[in-house]
Amino acid sequence: MIQHRSYTQKVDVYSFGIVLWELITGLLPFQNMTAVQAAFAVVNKGVHPTIPIDCLPVLSDIMTNNRPTFSQFVKMLRQKS
């Protein structure tokens, strides 16, 4: 969206991963950057927040997987329960 690319569900999946990260850590990602700097770093440099070492493996898998679909998220959670 930043580079006027077409919007796909992958943007929503990335946003979900960021919200999940915020819930796990209790922090805001990219605290040392402005919103514009963070968006540029994500889009152009592939920057992502660091996953905490003590994160549940299934949640870590969801956040580090190459943007799975929401149906794949559900399957991943069901397999680990």
- Give the model confidence (pLDDT) of 1-56 as tens digits: 555 667 778 788 888 889 999 999 999 999 999 999 998 998 889 888 999 999 98
pTM for the whole structure: 0.79
Q: Which residues contact 35 (CB under 8 A, 6 or more apart)?
A: none
Hey, what CATH topology would domain 9-80 get? Transferase(Phosphotransferase); domain 1 (1.10.510)
Name which of 14, 23, 18, 24 is nearest 70 in CA terms.
Answer: 14
Residue-range domain boundaries for the chain? 9-80
